[in-house]
Chains A and B, each alone.
Chain A
Amino acid sequence: DGGITQSPKYLFRKEGQNVTLSCEQNLNHDAMYWYRQDPGQGLRLIYYSQIVNDFQKGDIAEGYSVSREKKESFPLTVTSAQKNPTAFYLCASGPGPQYEQYFGPGTRLTVT
């Protein structure tokens, strides 16, 4: 089945630890995106990548890092520098910036 997978669904970490969220797609899409969603709010863009080995900061990139070594994979690292990392993280992919995006099931990160 074609789609986007994110793992794990729930993640718990202690404050001060870096954590990496996985995102894989088999839709052969060039573009991939990471969004953050806080309770009762919309989605805010963290990072996006239009092609392999290239990525751009979104609106709230501070405290996060990404890599795009393969077309299918776009992992997100939440570093200890992110002041309020507890949130729901959504990964998406799409054919290009002006087209629809397809979303994964999300990872709910809790940092205590």
Chain B
Amino acid sequence: AQKVTQAQTEISVVEKEDVTLDCVYETRDTTYYLFWYKQPPSGELVFLIRRNSFDEQNEISGRYSWNFQKSTSSFNFTITASQVVDSAVYFCALTHPPQAGRRALTFGSGTRLQVQP
């Protein structure tokens, strides 16, 4: 069985604050893939990052950074110096190679981030 938990339902910060969105996953497989997506108010999901289970290097892309820790089964997402345009719902997701059987993403329930000006 696979599961993704995003315990933070909603987070509110003031612009320029740093914010971390938590993601904890469960899987029995050693090979898997983790993703983050952003869903702005328009509704369309936007892909942010993909990480495979063998690559624990942290990644930084502009104001976004991701911390992958297999020891705690976590894949957390940090936004530095948040901006109002970062306001959205953020989803963490998990999938496996085709031979593992399941062929689609398992999504967490999402974290709604509100950045106040």
Q: Which residues of A contact B (CB under 8 A)?
A: 31, 33, 41-45, 48, 50, 56, 58, 88, 90, 92, 96-106, 108
Contact A97 B103 (CB under 8 A): yes
7 contacts between A and B (CB under 8 A): A33-B104, A43-B105, A90-B44, A96-B98, A97-B104, A105-B42, A106-B43
Closest to A4 in B: B44
A85 to chain B, nearest CB (A): 17
Inter-chain contact B107/A97, CB cutoff 8 Å: no
Report yes or no: B45 in contact with A98, Cβ–Cβ below 8 A. Answer: no
Measured CB to CB, the nearest residue on chain A to B46 is A103
- The majority secondary structure among interface residues of chain B is loop
Q: Residue among A43, A45, A88, A101 with the most chain B CB within 10 A?
A: A43
Q: In which size bucket is the chain B interface?
A: 20 to 34
Contact residue among A44, A45, A48, A103 (Cβ-Cβ distance under 8 Å from B45): A103
Task: Tell me if A97 and B97 are in contact (CB < 8 A).
Answer: yes
| Chain A, Cβ-Cβ closest to B33 | A98
The interface residues of chain A lying within 8 Å CB-to-CB of B91 are 42-43
Nearest-CB residue, chain B, relative to A50 = B103
Shortest beta-carbon distance from B74 to chain A in Å:
18
Contact of A42 among B98, B104, B107 (CB under 8 A): B107
